[in-house]
Structure 1
Amino acid sequence: MKMHVAIVGAGMSGLSCASQLVRSGHTVALYDKGRGPGGRMSTRRMATPLGDAHFDHGAQYFTVRDPAFMAQVARWSASGVAAPWPAAGTGAWVGVPTMNAVIKDMADQHDVTFGWHVRGLVRREDRWFLTGETAAGERLQAGPFDAVVVSLPPEQASAIVALHDLSLAATALAARSQPCWTGMFAFAERLPSRQDTVREAGLISWAARNGAKPGRKGPETWVVQASPHWSTQHIEDTVEQVTAALLAALSEALEETLPEPVTASAHRWRYAMSTGSNLGALWSAQSKIGVCGDWLLGPRVENAWISGRTLATRMMAREREEVA
C-alpha cells in the first residue's frame, strides 16, 4: 500500500527519509519552520559595506564512512555541490558554494513548505493532520496523511508526539542535546594568520576561516563555535555579550590583535549536538509515527542521513508485512 507521508523538519534526516520513501513510490510532503534549506547545516548571509558575507554557522564539514552515504557524496561531488576540504582533516567534505548547498540539492527534489512551524498533530478517522502557523502568526492545518515522520531534535520531537505515542516521547525525552553559541565575524582585510582552523582553544571548540572552504567568495569571514560547557554556562547571555567574548577568544587563539569587524553577530543553537544512541530510528506501526535524526545514532551529518534512510526502510518493511 502506497502511503502519503508528512515529514516535520526538512534537514538532512528528513530529506533522506523522504528520498527513500519517494523512490519506493510513496508520496511525501515536508514542512520546516526555517525560511529555506539548511537546518543545522544552515548558511547565514549578512550585508556588509564590502558586499554580502556568508557564514556556515552550523555544521562545519562532514565525513564519510557508510558505503551508501559515500555514493550520495559522490553524486554531490559530480554535480558540484560538495567538495573535499583538506584543512579540516582527511576525508572532510563541505557543501559548495555554501554548506547548505547539499540540503538545497535534496530539497529541490521534494515538495517542501518552508516557513511553516508545526506545533502539533491531530488524529481524525485514522488519518493524521498537522497544525501550525507561519512566521506571521497565520494558523494553518495540513492533511490528511497516512503517517507522520518527525525529524527534529529530541526535545522538540517529544513535545510533538507526546499526546499520541508515549513510548516514542519517552525515548526522545531520555536524549539530551548540548547547546552551542556560534560567532560570525567579517573583516575588511584577510587576517594574517596562517591558520584556517582552530580546535579546542580556551572557550573555543572550533573556529574556521569560512572563505578558506572551496567555492567561497566575498569578504574575509570567520566562524567561531564555543564549547558545549561554555555555551551551557552562557546560554541566556545576550548576542552582544557572546559576540564580544567569542571575538576576544579568537584573538587569543590566533595570537593576534584583531581589527574591528565590519560586521559581527552570534547565533544560539539550543539543540546543537547529542551523545547519540544505537537506535537508528523510531517507528510505531500502531500510531503510524516515526522519528529520525542524528541523535538516534551520533552527532555527525552522515548519521542524520543514515537515520532518515533507516526509518524509511522500517516503515516500508512493516507496510509490506501488513499487506502480506
Structure 2
Amino acid sequence: MRIGIIGAGMAGLSCAHALRSQGHHPVLFDKGRGPGGRMSTRRVDTPLGEAAFDHGAQYLTARDPAFVAQVERWAQDRHVARWSPAGPDAWVGTPAMNAPIRAMAAECDVRWNTAIAGLCHDGGWRIGDERFDAAIVAVPAEQVAPLVADHDGALADAARAAVSDPCWTVMAAFDGPVPTDCDRFADIGIIGSAVRNSAKPGRTGPEAWVLQASAGWSRAHIEDEPDMIARALLAAFADHIGALSPTIIATSVHRWRYAKTGTSARGAFWNAEIRLGACGDWLLGPRIEAAWLSGQQLAAFVGPAR
C-alpha cells in the first residue's frame, strides 16, 4: 500500500521504516523545516561562537529489547552516546539530540514544510494533493482529534482524553563555566530540569544550559511573555547555584504546548476497515522509546504487503 503519514517525529519515522520493511510505500508529511520535533536542537550565534541547545527531550532511555537493539545500532553509527548524569541507561544524540531522527529521515520520503490541516476519505485517502491507500497520524494527541474526528470517533475521543503537559524552556549561553560540578539538576523549585548541554558527548561551543520549567508552573504561565519566563527561570537557577558569575551572552526561549504527553495505554491504533491509524508516545507512555515502539506496533497491525 501507499501510506501517507502525518508527522515525521520518532513515532512516524519508526512506523515508516517498519512499513517499508514489510513492502509498503510510506510518505511522510511534517510542518517542520527539518528533522527534530520534540528532539530538536536549536543553534544560537554568540560572541564566542555558535551555542547548541537540545531544547526538547534531554535524553532517551532504552529498556525494551527491540529498542535496545535499535539504540545499539545508532551507537555503532555514532548517532548516540551514553550520558551518565541521567542514569546508567540514558543516551543522547550526537552531535545533537536530533541525530537519530536525522538518520531515520534520510532514508525516508519526507515532505518538510508541509502542514496538513485535514484528511479526506473517499474510498482512499487524500492528504494534501496526493492520494493514498491508508493514512496514519503520528502527531501529538491534541492535534490528532481535529484530523480524524470525521472518520473515527473512538480515536478522536482517545486523543482528546490524553492531555499533554506544557513546558517553557529557556536556553542560556555563558562566557565561562557556571560554578557547579553537576551537569544536570531535576526538580529545583519552578525548574523541572536544568542541563549543562555543552557537557554532553560530542558538543562544542560555549557553556550552554537548558532550563525547563515544571509542568505546573508552565501551565500557570503558559501565556506569559518570553522575557518574563527567561527572567524567572534564570533567577531560580541562580538562587539554586548560589550565583551566576559568568556573563550571559545569549538567550532564547521556547514554549512547548505539548511537551510531556498523557497516555491512553493502547500502544497504537489501527482501523482496518477504513485503513486509518495512529501512533505516538501518547498511545503508550511519555518517552522517546514509547514513541518508537508505538510506531513499530502500528506497522505490525497494518501487516505485510500482499
TM-score by length of 2: 0.97
Q: Which moved more, 1:3-12 or 1:115-124?
A: 115-124
Offset, 1:168: 1.1
Counterpart-to-counterpart distance in 2, 1:258 and 1:129: 56
What aligned pairs does 1:164-313 form with structure 2 within 5 A after superposition? 164-313=151-300
> Displacement of 1:171 after TM fit?
1.1
d(CA) in 2 for partners of 1:117 and 1:294?
20
CA–CA distance in 1 between the matches of 2:226 and 2:247?
17
Matches within 5 A, 1:12-31: 12-31=10-29
Partner of 2:92: 94
Which position in structure 2 is the counterpart of 1:134? none
Q: Displacement, 1:142?
A: 2.9
2:105: which partner in 1? Answer: 107
- Report the alpha carbon displacement of residue 248 of structure 1 after superposing the two structures with TM: 0.8
Q: For 2:161 and 2:195, how far apart are their aligned partners in 1?
A: 33
Match for 1:107: what amino acid? A
Map of 1:64 onto structure 2: 62
State how far apart, in whole Å, the 1-side matches of 2:129 and 2:207 are. 43
Tell me which amino acid in the other structure corresponds to 1:316: G
CA-CA distance at 1:287 after TM superposition: 2.2
Counterpart CA distance in 2 for 1:153 and 1:128 is 21
Question: Please, which runs of 5 or more residues in structure 2 have no aligned partner?
Answer: none
Contact 2:161 2:264 in 1 (8 A): no
- Aligned-pair distance for 1:275? 3.2
Alignment counterpart, residue 6 of structure 1, candidates 4, 7, 15: 4
- The structure showing larger relative contact order (alpha-carbon pairs under 8 Å, at least 6 residues apart) is 2
Equivalents in 1 of 2:3, 2:129: separation in Å? 11
Distance between the aligned counterparts of 1:149 and 1:257, measured in 2?
Answer: 47
Shift, 1:258, TM fit:
4.0
Name the CA distance, whole Å, in 2 between partners of 1:257 and 1:63. Answer: 31
User: How many angstroms apart in 2 are the aligned matches of 1:226 and 1:273?
Assistant: 12
Q: Paired residue for 2:130?
A: 143
Deviation of residue 18 (structure 1)?
0.3
Identical amino acids, percent of aligned pairs: 52
- The answer to whether the 8 A contact 2:19-2:299 is kept is yes
Give me the whole-angstrom Cα distance separating, in 1, the residues matched to 2:223 and 2:242: 28
Report if the CA contact (8 A) 2:53-2:209 is conserved.
Answer: yes
- Once residues 52 and 142 of structure 1 are traced to their aligned partners in structure 2, the CA distance between those partners, rounded to angstroms, is 39
Aligned partners of 1:240 and 1:265 also within 8 Å = no
How many angstroms apart in 2 are the aligned matches of 1:189 and 1:229? 32
Distance 1:12 1:119 in 2: 20
Which residue of 2 is the match for residue 137 of structure 1?
A: none
Partner of 2:125: 128
Tell which deviates more after alignment, 253-262 or 288-297.
Answer: 253-262
* CA distance in 2 between partners of 1:87 and 1:260 (Å): 25
Matches within 5 A, 1:148-167: 148-167=135-154
CA distance in 2, matches of 1:52, 1:8: 32
Q: Report deviation, 1:193.
A: 1.2
1:165–1:287 contact (8 Å) kept in structure 2: no
The answer to whether the 8 A contact 2:171-2:210 is kept is yes
> Cα distance, 1:232 vs. partner?
0.2
Q: TM-score, normalised by structure 1?
A: 0.92
Equivalent AA in structure 1 for residue 296 of structure 2: R
Aligned length: 306
* C-alpha deviation, 1:257, in angstroms: 3.2
Moved more, 204-213 or 281-290: 281-290
2:158 touches 2:264 (CA, 8 Å); kept in 1? Answer: no
The 3-state SS of whatever aligns with 2:26 is strand
Equivalent residues in 2 for 1:43-82 (5 A)? 43-82=41-80
Change (3 A) 1:258 1:203: farther
Looking at structure 2, the residues matched to 149 and 169 of structure 1 have their Cα atoms a distance apart, in angstroms, of: 13
